[in-house]
Amino acid sequence: MFSQVPFKVKMEWGRRGAREAAERGDIVIIVDVLSFSSTVVAALNAGAVIFPYPPNLDGKKYASSIGAQYILGRAEAARTGNPTLSPVTFNEEHGNQSYVLTSLNGAYCSWIASKVPALLIGSLLNASAVAVIADKLQKETGADITVVPCGEMWDEVRENEDGLRPSVEDYLGAGAILSGLDGSKSPEAEVCAVAFTGSANRLKELVWDSGSGRELRERGYEDDVKYCCQLNVTGTVPMMKDGRFIEGNEDI
């Protein structure tokens, strides 16, 4: 049976990886560079409160029940002037306001792994800071660490096909975090970290020209890609608490 159990630091893909890590009781770091993770980081930097929620459930009803605003899709939000699943749409105007954010990947994985000892949101933006806090939590709790690059979903999945599409930007984001973590790394985690260190000098170029980056650019969201491929520009580390993300430094 596939297992990375002998190692203190692991790397698992997508929703299944999030579930496996949660069932082990690991500290989990969710990585969805374009754009859930980056958006959560930007929202917390702006002082907003984010509640992640899976898109297959009634997010609008949930938002109403907790007195939060349901975040609309990019196009609809642009027409109404509201923040959306785009990090550049959050600013100081959204401070102290609560939002429910859904996504097929990052929000879903966060929801699946919400009951772990600690769930952190990682991206290129805060990779070093996430690694520092995860190491502190590991020493305090004794739990292993699993970094979960979420990947994307294939369109028009046919019968007997897997919907997960591994994505280079999430792999590089996970590698950036893994390269800063202490503890024995599984081969999967070690190779991911080496992929980042070997590509760090071309990071922006690789994310820009990746399939996910080109998809966003072709839809008119070039600013999102430029924002999300910045490395270690913030110390903000979102941590899940009571269904919402708080600044991780406040809870250690």
Q: Which pLDDT score is estimated for 208?
A: 98
Cα–Cα dist 106/56, whole Å: 13
Identify whether the C-beta of residue 144 lies closer than 8 Å to the C-beta of residue 28: no
The pLDDT assigned to 86 comes to: 96
> Which is the CATH superfamily of the domain at 9-37+105-239?
ComB-like (3.90.1560.10)
Where are the chain's structural domains?
A: 9-37+105-239
Secondary structure class of 71 (helix, strand, coil):
coil
Question: What does each of the 252 residues of the chain score in pLDDT, given as a tens digit?
Answer: 688 989 999 999 999 999 999 999 999 999 999 999 999 999 999 999 999 999 999 999 999 999 999 999 988 888 888 999 999 999 999 999 999 999 999 999 999 999 999 999 999 999 999 999 999 999 999 999 999 999 999 999 999 999 999 999 999 999 999 999 999 999 999 999 999 999 999 999 999 999 999 999 999 999 999 999 999 999 999 999 999 999 987 555
CA distance 226 to 235: 19
Q: Give the DSSP H or E segment for 223.
A: helix 222-228
- Answer yes or no: are the C-beta atoms of 124 and 230 closer than 8 Å: yes
**Helices and strands, counts by H and E, the chain:** 11, 11
- Residue 245 CB contacts under 8 Å (≥ 6 apart), including other chains: 40, 43, 44, 49, 50, 51, 52, 121, 238, 239
